[in-house]
Structure 1
Amino acid sequence: MSKGTFNCSGKVNLHDWQLNSSSLFMQKDLHNVLHEKPPLNSVFKVFECELPGIDILMNLKHYVRCMESNLKKLCRFEKIPVLGKLPATNEEIDFFVIRKVVCEFLYNLRSYIKSIREDNFTIRDVGDESEKDFEDLLDTMQRFLGRLHCIPDSTFLYAPSNVGNKSNQPEYHLYHSHLDLRWLLTTIIYIKSNSWHESESNNEHLENIIFSALADLIYISMKIFVTIPNTDLHTRTPYSCSCVRELWLMLQILADSLFTKEKCKMFWEFLNSILDQLFPNEYRSTSKLQNINLPDCKNSEVFCIWLIYHLTLLYGYADDGVYSNKPSTRMTEKQISCSMAQVVKIMKIYINKGGKDGAREEVDDELCVIIPLVHVLSCEWWSPQVQIISLLWECFHRRLDQPFLLQTRGPWSTSSEKKTPMDILEQIKSRIKNTNHEINHESSFGLFLRLLGKFLEKHYSRSEAKVWNQIKGRIYSRFSQNKLQDYTESGIYNFISLFLTLAVTTDTVDVCSAMVNLLPSTIDWSDPSNSKKYCLIWKSKLAVLLLYNDCKYSFKDIAESYTETANAISCRKDEFSRSMMVWFIDVLRITLMQSEDFGRHEHAFLGGWIDRYLLESAPNKVGVLTSTLLKVFEKCNDLLSSNTMGSTLMLNSLWQHVASRVRQMVTNCDLSTDFYENPTKLAVAFTLEACRDPSTAKKYRHSAVSLFQHFTMSVIIKDIRITQLYLTAILQNEIALETLRKEIANFNTLCIQAWVKCNILNCEINSDKHFLKNYISHLPEIKSILDSERDINEFRNSNEPIIHFFMVISKKRTTLKAEQCSSFDATCRSYLHNLDKWALQLINEENKDTKLSFWIYRCIGTVIFCCSPVLYVKNQPSNMLRVLINKVALPPEQPAQPHLVHLAQRIFHMIILGIENLNVKADISLQTMIRELFERYLPLLITVEASNENAFKVADSLSKCFLEAKPNFVRSILDMLAANFVTICGSNSTHKHCYLVMLLLRNLIRAGKIYSIDVLDSIVSVSASSIFNCYMRVHDHHPHKQQTIDFLKDVSLNSYYKENLSLREKLNEIVWNALNKYVQTNSKVSFEFVSSISKINIELLKYIYPRIKQIVSECEKNKLPNAAALRYQEYQLLSLAS
């Protein structure tokens, strides 16, 4: 291994502190210089010759010339060769050999000088010429080292090599020769000054040599610095290669070692003297050390702090070369003080040159470099120093109301508008805890806050508050309420970030109190243009709540102000206020959920804002609050056993501020969501709490009974899932069940009413519905109706238990005696209490075709069909049946409710057949109702194609009225239709529904034997007369004439008519009666009608003709004026009848 030469490991990795095992330091070169005693009269190898040390001194002049000759070979490569004009050489030059022989010579010379020093020999003792030659040697070395500035800047950047001395690049060896000789010169001078007794002058010479060595290294560092962008300075070092770092380290150890022996200045004194020369206008050098020629530097302050940072890190190396990533024993308070003073000095310069007011062009980019470096020094390498923090604070407080201080990159780069209070506080904590690789994402102010937080986190102590008081005084003094009032959103955000950083790391209560007092009040906010600013202020105050919660502090002193603000905000209607309430609720949720026993006055946050927020917010917006209140209830119940005051106070607040609003929340209905669950569970919680502690419930005007009745029987509850879930939860709680049974006399009846309501208004099958069905089936009231085991089992197994229930009621009533029916009817009517009021509240125009809407109408139709005798009370105009039919099928035409009429069409037959079960003939009101029903629904149940009047369709719901009804009731219907609609209204025109009735009759007749013979018999008996009467009275072109002919044709072709003589005779008689009435007074129409009959029914014509002939004969006999005309027309018929 060559002696005295550095062995390069390439560029320095910032995180790799291990020294090369072949390096000078690890080969103990420094240790040998400082400590080891070499053997005397040893033989040394010099320029390939082995000589005693005395011979080297005797022939020193010759060897100096040899050294100079070799160095000149290297100097040829100081300039970058022009392409195609490489230095001429006859043979390949081994540049390392050149460098090695020079260094070996100097190394051996140094060793010999050190050896003779021990015996108090001097070079003068060897000979006068030797001392002169030795001075020549030093001059030669210094001349060569003085040419460092001639080396191109690119050499400092690209000369390093990972292969070390195996490289044959001339630039590499030229550059490293400077490093080699600088170290050898320094150590030779040290040994010389330590060898002879010219102490004062020699020490000054040594200081100058060390000064020059450090100046050269700073020169190299400056050349490197100018090539590095500010953003990369965190990852780059001032060392062009590992050899430069090693040289810095050895010079540092050498200088500090000599300082301890009082033989020269301390390392930092050398360094500071050089760095001061970068600021000639600020500091006049008083040092006796020489001035040096350093290149111009645009950012001298940044460079100096960057350099000091890296040189401070070298103090992590112990004397043996092991790095510990923390100050080693080499770093004393004196060294810390000296380096710190220099940084303070530089920061003051920086501030005076525009850093304070932002006048520097790239002030924030520069601060982004400076602050992380100072951060590491202040928090990891130096003792507490408030002055650094104060100086950095001077760079920001004047510019705090500027947006560029906000973070624009990284995970926290979202705008302050989008950040929640949790985000703001988490960013503060994350900033303090973050790792170095996240530094590039921070703004300059963010980096300052990180430094401030870390510094206070490490050095804040309640017992020793000196550091904190100094920082607090400097920061607090810069703010006032008037100043913050004028701040923009950006300024407020920066202020908040600053104070929350202080609060997280120091006296939380004091800092938060100061911050809140300085910030403008959100209650007095009225200017819409500042909405975002006041939103941010509110977020900061909520972050204070989170911080209090994290620290487990009591909210007693601050809760009232938050509740007061929330009450005010909840009264505003704008979007910003709504957002502010959402943030408040989110923070409150965190606070309440993390509370252990509500012993920190959490109850004080519940106030009037809850009522207004739940009232005015959309159902899908209140889920967070209602779920939070539910969990609070659960936690209070868990705390009951421990009897804590906090849970008692919280329950009182819930009764005071939540219970009444929960009663009203259930009026909302949004079937598309699960909004109903939380309010319902809250209702259950309040009911159970009222059962447990009725006195507290009564205090706030509530009771378990009133709550139960409200949530099961109130008609304002539109979402029946609320009643279903509530009732299920109450019935599953034994304590509540027992309490309510004692307090409510008709508890079972109320349960049945609620069950009926749940089944009619909800068609879905779920576990709650199944539970309620099973519970109801065990009640004695239900068992009295389901009086057989079969009925009970069918009821329990039915997927439509409500339909089955109504059918069983109808079946049960038929088995009762007349005197039992009245009591039975009254009981059953109680189960359908207010049916007319709540049954239709879910149906509207938009959902009329849904499954649920039809299910509701189907249930209502079943009630009317099966239970009409139960609902109907004679001589009571507002009996349940009439009221229900009016509501579901005969709604007022103004306002129009077409959706109800649309659904009623589908249960029309159930309504009509339900009325059949009553004594219609004895009650004119029922007859009127039937007429109104047909008048309203005939146009809807019989549809005619616009393009073809003969194409029509009769709805099944109308057909079933005639298919399933008893003959007498069918006859009554047909009689009503004929009497009310097959009539002449005026101007010889029929009723507007006559045409539809004729189509209905055609449909019944043409159906053949689908309907019974009684239907055709009733048509002939009660309808035909009106039909023929209208025929005689309408004008010639009226459509009824053709409909009448079609009617006769359809009847004549009907199978029942052909097979039944009685029907034929009945029709003959009715036709003749109509003709007999009009043949004399309206002979033209009469004979036209008979003529039409002749084409349809010859048998009927043969029945009519003799009677017409007789009338004509009587007219002639009585010599009536129209006798001749009648006789003429009679002759016309004769040919048709024969």
Structure 2
Amino acid sequence: MADNFSQSLTPPVSPFAADSLCELPPSQPPCFCCAESKEEPAGTLPADGYIARGALKRLLLRLDPAPSEYETDIVEIFGFPWVTEMALVESTKLLFGLFRQKIYKLETLVQSSSRDFGQVGSLHYEAEDIKLQCVTFLQYIKVYLHRYLIPSSVLDGGSSHPFEELEVQFPSVLLEELLGVTLLIGRLKDLPANIQSAFTIQNHGKINPPSWHLLHLHLDIHWSILEILHMLGLKMQGQVVYAHQFVNLTGENLTDASLFEEHLCSLLCDLTGLAMGKYSKVRPTEALTIQHYPCSCIKELWILIIHLLENRSKVLHTQSFWSYMNSLLRPLVCGKPAPEQFSGMPTHCKDPLGFTWWLVTHIAILGKYNRSGAIQAERIENWTLIEELLKITCNPKGNLAEEQVRMHVHFCLSVCMLWDPSTVAVSTLWDYYSKNLNGSFTVPWLGVAGLGTLCKSPLALLDQARSCSSPSPLHSPGHTQLYRTANSFHIFLRILALCLSQDRAGGVPQRQIKGRIYSKFSSKKMQEMSEAGLMNFLLLFIVVARQVELEDVAGRACELLGFLPSNCPPGHRTLIWRGQLTLLLLFQVGERA
């Protein structure tokens, strides 16, 4: 009998505990974490982010957010066990109350960390754990909506189970709790300076201050609210979700769609404000190399919003991403007040037009990422806004200096390399340069850089035309440093060459552009041409000749050169011979771009 008993005082392990010991710990949900490895190539997205982990793709395809998680009957949230299939409905307010407590606790850690430098390590791990618990709760909400939420009709007068009543009320209660969270965390622009300064932490190591964790938790919450509201709207299958208690208390309507719209516009406004702060320190020579986001998490957030809004535009027929951005940026360029939904937009911008060019170009570059984080061929274009910006840039009333025009045209070239070139954009630019062909297009503070525009030989002229006909790759130094090495007219020639090269068969756009170029030259205009203007004329026609009908373009150029007076200055006569010899070189080598 005694042999049946062990002398150990440790109680036997229950079957439930034994089973739990065999389970693998749940994987960490995707989150914003811009800790970058030195081995990661530039331009890659964070490995633990929503895109790299496939969360965005699953959201857009309406798949389970975490197919291998939350499969047991019991789930641990905030250190307590809950019934997986019932917790969010039965204890909505309690769970969100615990969620708010965790946010308060993390805020307290931020305050204490500023006074206690001896606890850096322990504060980091405590803050990291709080952030993980909050992100896990947000992930649980998404999983619950996908797996267990079933749209319920209003209960009739008959008896029903209390849980069924809670299920009917749940979408409304969830909406009110999400509103409460947005009011609690506020907007990104309103975060204290000591928290926003965490954006500037470089070389992220294993130990980060609580402010870094709190800042990135705010990003997780902002994005997760959009995710949850999007999923809620889809799961309700067209039923509008009203926040009944909020409506009863305030008399104002609040729906899932209106909260999504309000939160989205506030977030876009704040992200634009962050970019505006960065632009204040950008010099024209660095405009393409300095990004509009302070860390890679903000970059990822932009990409997430782009794809979510484009997906909603196709599926739900709502506004596209660029439609929102156009509504946000147009008043800024025109100096008008921002629309009501974009309230809180910073008003201090040193150069609204230049900032808009800069922001739109860098957002267009982000459009190259697909929903899996890979580079895609398809682009989300917005030529409508670009063409409006070009008209403002080229408006004589604006009286913009070459340093501004050069930067704007450089941005336009970058956009043309990302999207299919626009004939409207080329026409707008040509109208501007045809009136200013005699200009030197120099930037005084750049010194001698880019001043050597008069080629000394036909071969040098041909080489310059070749460089204008074949733009360098988008992210290469040859392109990013173009502001220093080429004037705005030479950058325009690259745009022109790109547009002409898109239509090799001599189609309507190509003929239209060639006709517009021819129409701007007359005998009077040729006789009024300066030496710099004649150089620009020759370079223009050589670039066009390399792209389209060589014989026709060369013949037209020689015909126009014949309008120059016979007693023109020696410099003009030298350029005429140089240009004609360059055209002969094109015929000799049969060169086409």
Answer yes or no: is the 8 Å Cα contact 2:442–2:451 preserved in 1.
no
1:547 aligned partner: 586
Question: How far apart, CA to CA, are the structure 1 residues paired with 2:291 and 2:393?
Answer: 22
Q: Is 1:290–2:334 an aligned residue pair?
A: no
Change (3 A) 1:136 1:120: closer
Q: Does residue 1:226 correspond to 2:280, yes or no? A: yes
Q: Secondary structure at the match of 2:464?
A: helix
Q: 1:442 to 1:9 in 2, by over 3 A?
A: farther
Alpha-carbon distance between aligned partners in 2 of 1:128 and 1:47, rounded to the nearest angstrom: 26
Aligned AA (2:576): I
CA distance in 2, matches of 1:11, 1:300: 35
Contact kept? 1:371, 1:447, Cα under 8 Å: yes
CA displacement, residues 922-974 of structure 1 (integer Å, 9 cap, x when unaligned): xxxxxxxxxxxxxxxxxxxxxxxxxxxxxxxxxxxxxxxxxxxxxxxxxxxxx
Relative to 1, partners in 2 of residues 1:112 and 1:451: Cα closer, same or farther, differing over 3 Å?
Answer: same
SS at match of 1:467: helix
Could you list the per-position Cα deviations for residues 81-129 of structure 1 after superposition, in whole angstroms to 9, with x for gaps in the alignment? 9xxx944699552322232222222221232233222475999832788
Q: Distance in 2 between matches of 1:12 and 1:374?
A: 33
Gaps of 5+ in 2: 1-26, 155-162, 242-254
2:517 matched to 1:475? yes
- 1:387 pairs with 2:387: no
CA change 1:552–1:219 in 2 (3 A) is closer
The equivalent residue for 1:447 is 491
Structure 1 equivalent of residue 308 of structure 2 = 254
Task: Decide whether aligned partners of structure 1 residues 26 and 15 sit closer, same or farther in structure 2, where only a CA change above 3 A counts.
Answer: closer
Q: Provide the residue aligned with 1:24 in structure 2.
A: 50
Once the two structures are superposed, the pairs formed by residues 995-1034 of structure 1 within 5 Å of their partners are none
> How far does residue 428 in structure 1 lie from its aligned partner after superposition?
0.9
Secondary structure of 1:166's match? coil
User: Deviations for 1:540-598, whole angstroms, at most 9, x for unmatched residues?
Assistant: 22222222223289xxxxxxxxxxxxxxxxxxxxxxxxxxxxxxxxxxxxxxxxxxxxx
Partner of 2:388: 345
2:180 counterpart residue number: 140
2:359 corresponding residue in structure 1: 307
Aligned residue in 2 for 1:653:
none
Question: Shift in Å at residue 493 of structure 1?
Answer: 1.6
| 1:703-1102 map, 5 Å | none
Whole-Å Cα distance in 1 between the matches of residues 28 and 180 of structure 2? 22
Q: Determine which structure has the larger helix proportion and give its number.
A: 1
SS in 2 for 1:323: coil
The answer to whether 1:51 aligns with 2:82 is: yes
Kept in 1, the 8 Å contact 2:151–2:235? The answer is no
1:12–1:242 Cα contact (<8 Å) kept = no
1:1089-1137 residue CA offsets vs partner (Å, 9 max, x unmatched): xxxxxxxxxxxxxxxxxxxxxxxxxxxxxxxxxxxxxxxxxxxxxxxxx
Q: Deviations over 1:797-830 (max 9, x none)?
A: xxxxxxxxxxxxxxxxxxxxxxxxxxxxxxxxxx
Equivalent residue, structure 2, for 1:93: 123
After TM superposition, the structure 1 = structure 2 runs for residues 183-198 of structure 1, keeping only pairs within 5 Å, are 183-196=223-236, 197-198=238-239
Residues 367, 75 of structure 1: alpha-carbon distance in 2 compared, 3 angstrom cutoff: farther
Q: Secondary structure at the match of 1:278?
A: helix
Among 484, 489, 496, the alignment partner of 2:526 is 484
Tell me if structure 2 keeps the 8 A contact 1:379–1:458: no
**Alignment partner of 2:576 out of 537, 545, 570:** 537
Return closer, same or farther for 1:425/1:498 CA change in 2, 3 Å cut-off.
Answer: same
- CA 1:280–1:493 in structure 2 vs 1: closer, same or farther (change >3 Å)? closer
Question: CA–CA distance in 2 between the matches of 1:235 and 1:402?
Answer: 28
Q: 371, 378, 381: which is aligned to 2:416?
A: 378
Task: Give the C-alpha shift of residue 458 in structure 1.
Answer: 3.0
Q: How many residues align?
A: 525
Query: For residues 523 and 277 of structure 1, what CA distance do their matches in structure 2 show?
Result: 50
Tell me which structure has the larger Cα radius of gyration. 1
1:113 maps onto 2:145 in alignment: yes
CA distance in structure 2 between the aligned counterparts of 1:8 and 1:471, rounded to whole angstroms:
46
Matched, 1:36 2:63: yes
Shift of 1:410: 9.1
For 1:152 and 1:501, locate their aligned partners in 2 and report how far apart those are by CA, in whole Å: 54
Secondary structure at the counterpart of residue 148 of structure 2: helix
Partner residue, 1:66 = 98
For the 8 Å contact 2:32–2:220, the answer to whether it is kept is yes
C-alpha separation in 1, matches of 2:322 and 2:364: 10
Distance change >3 Å, CA 386–CA 208, structure 1 → 2: same
1:525 maps to which of 549, 553, 567: 567
8 Å contact kept, 1:161–1:167: no
**Structure 1 contact 456–505 (Cα < 8 Å) conserved:** yes
Deviation at 1:184, TM superposition (A): 0.8
Q: Deviations over 1:998-1057 (max 9, x none)?
A: xxxxxxxxxxxxxxxxxxxxxxxxxxxxxxxxxxxxxxxxxxxxxxxxxxxxxxxxxxxx
Q: Residue 341 of structure 2: SS of its match in structure 1?
A: coil
Give yes or no for the alignment of 1:397 onto 2:438.
no
Q: Is the contact between residue 3 and residue 107 of structure 1 (CA under 8 Å) also seen in structure 2?
A: yes
Cα deviation 1:136-164 (Å, max 9, x = unaligned): 43233212453411346797676255665
SS at match of 2:82: strand
2:546/2:591 contact within 8 Å kept? no
Change (3 A) 1:186 1:539: same
Q: 1:658-694, CA deviations, whole angstroms, 9 ceiling, x for partnerless residues?
A: xxxxxxxxxxxxxxxxxxxxxxxxxxxxxxxxxxxxx
For 1:517 and 1:14, the matched residues in 2 are separated by 57
Cα deviation code 1:499-543 (max 9, x no counterpart)? 2221222222222222223236678226xxx33233223322222
Contact 2:527–2:563 (CA<8 Å) still a contact in 1?
Answer: no
For the residues of structure 2 that align with 1:445 and 1:15, how far apart are their CA atoms? 35
Of 429, 437, 462, which residue of structure 1 is paired with 2:477? 437
Out of 186, 190, 193, the residue aligned to residue 150 of structure 1 is 190
CA RMSD of aligned residues (A): 3.8
Q: Mind listing any 5+ residue stretches in structure 1 that lack a counterpart?
A: 554-1138
Say if 2:266 and 2:342, in contact at 8 Å, map to a contact too: no
Matched position secondary structure for 1:503: helix
* Alignment TM-score, normalising by the size of structure 1: 0.42
Residue 303 of structure 1 deviates from its aligned partner by: 2.7
Task: From the superposition, tell whether residues 182 and 153 of structure 1 become closer, same or farther in structure 2 (CA, over 3 Å).
Answer: same
How big is the shift at 1:498?
A: 1.7
Task: Tell me the equivalent position of 1:801.
Answer: none
C-alpha spacing 1:434/1:274, structure 2 compared with 1 (3 Å) = closer
In 2, Cα distance between the equivalents of 1:177 and 1:252?
21
Residues 552 and 161 of structure 1: CA distance in aligned 2, closer, same or farther (over 3 Å): closer
1:502 aligns with 2:583: no
- Aligned-partner SS, 2:545: helix
**What percentage of aligned pairs have identical amino acids?**
22
Task: Please state how far the C-alpha of 1:239 moved relative to its aligned partner.
Answer: 2.4
Indicate if the aligned counterparts of 1:405 and 1:445 stay in contact, CA closer than 8 A: no
Q: Structure 1's 291 and 177: CA in aligned 2 closer, same or farther, altered over 3 A?
A: same
Distance change (3 Å), C-alpha of 1:278 and 1:152: farther
| Distance 1:233-1:410 versus aligned 2 partners, 3 A rule | same
Between the aligned partners of 2:109 and 2:535, the Cα distance in structure 1 is 58
Shift of 1:412: 7.0
Q: CA deviation at 1:461?
A: 2.3
Amino acid at match of 1:445: F
Give the number of the structure with larger relative contact order, counting CA–CA contacts within 8 Å between residues 6 or more apart: 2
SS at 1:517 equivalent: helix
| Structure 2 CA distance for aligned equivalents of residues 448 and 372 of structure 1 | 8
Which of 219, 228, 251 lines up with 1:179 in the alignment?
A: 219
Q: Is the 8 A contact 1:412 1:427 kept in 2?
A: no
**Paired residue secondary structure (1:290):** helix
Q: Secondary structure at the match of 2:48?
A: coil
Inter-CA distance 129–168: structure 2 relative to 1 (3 Å threshold):
farther
| CA distance in 1 between partners of 2:458 and 2:110 (Å) | 62
